[in-house]
Amino acid sequence: MLSSLLLLWILLRCADSFSVRVPPGPVVVVRGATALLPCEFEPDLNISQLVVTWQRGEDARVVHSFYYQRDQLERQDSDYKGRTKLNYSELPKGNASLSITNFGLKDAGKYLCTVSNTKGTGKGELQLVYAAVYSEPRLSIHLKSSAVMVQYEMEGYPRPEILWLGSGNQNLTDHQEVSSASDGGLYYLKSYVTQNSAVNLTFTLKNPTAHQELQRHVIFSYDENIQNSSTSVVVLSVLCVILLCSTVLLLWLYCKQR
């Protein structure tokens, strides 16, 4: 009786000491990269009874399963077909980390790693965060009748921090349009400012999730009197044409009277 209680106590202590360890904070993965989901457990060199299951934390979809010393992918969710992999040589060392290729927006979220072997059973949950580096901003300058509009367009994820500064470091941030994320997992951003005189601007974009910061300077000057000069030229040309026509008409009338 005493030996049975001792054995039970030992088993309970072993079960209590068994742990599955995953990163405590979010793991950021860039669009298109291979995501590595770390998961460590109390190792057992004999993996004949090892069971590893990766699932989505939100809806328990099966991402990857391993037991009977091989992958068991019959119940794997279709979104992960051909994209997941365990490092088999690391399993006896207590490493059940999973890799997911071609990471996209729909892959972001919670993942649950459940491990069971002769030493016990445990689970750990981690968070994957999706990010996409913003493309090189495309500059366009639009001249209007009384102003100049400077605009940048780019794609990335998530919504960035935008700042426009004038030559005196005054904040000119005004208009920006951000469309919904596309199927490719990107936001389309259009940001612009309007100036009534010569342009001397600094554009800054920050994407903290992807550890990205872009800064571009725009200097553009134009002659504000061009429009008035052009108008004067047009008016003068019209007057010359009218004068010429009047002269011809007078000559024709004179000749006709003669």
Between CA 123 and CA 104 the distance in angstroms is 25
Query: How many residues would you count in the chain?
Result: 258
Tokens coding 217? 């300077």
Task: Output the pLDDT for position 144.
Answer: 80
Q: Tell me if the bond preceding 158 is cis, omega within 30° of 0.
A: yes
Q: Which of 163, 242, 245, 167 is nearest to 207 (CA)?
A: 163
Task: Output the pLDDT for position 12.
Answer: 45
Between CA 207 and CA 154 the distance in angstroms is 12
Helices (H), 61-209: none
In tens, the pLDDT along 91-132 reads 999 999 999 999 999 999 999 999 999 999 999 999 999 999
Tokens coding 146? 């009384």
Between CA 133 and CA 158 the distance in angstroms is 9
Contact 156, 135 (CB under 8 A): yes
pTM of the model: 0.75
Task: Output the pLDDT for position 4.
Answer: 45
| Positions in the chain short of pLDDT 70 | 1-17, 175-178, 180-181, 183, 222-258
Task: Output the pLDDT for position 172.
Answer: 85
136 contact partners, CB below 8 Å, separation of at least 6: 154
Q: Helix, strand, coil shares of the chain as percentages rounded to 5?
A: 25, 40, 35
Q: What is the largest CA-CA distance in the chain?
A: 148
CA 72-118-46 angle, 5° bins: 70
* Domains present along the chain, CATH in parentheses: 19-131 (2.60.40.10), 138-220 (2.60.40.10)
Task: Output the pLDDT for position 241.
Answer: 55
Task: Output the pLDDT for position 21.
Answer: 96
Task: Output the pLDDT for position 9.
Answer: 41
How many alpha carbons lie under 13 Å from residue 190 in its C-beta half-sphere?
6
Tokens coding 79? 């979104």
Task: Output the pLDDT for position 3.
Answer: 45
Task: Output the pLDDT for position 236.
Answer: 45
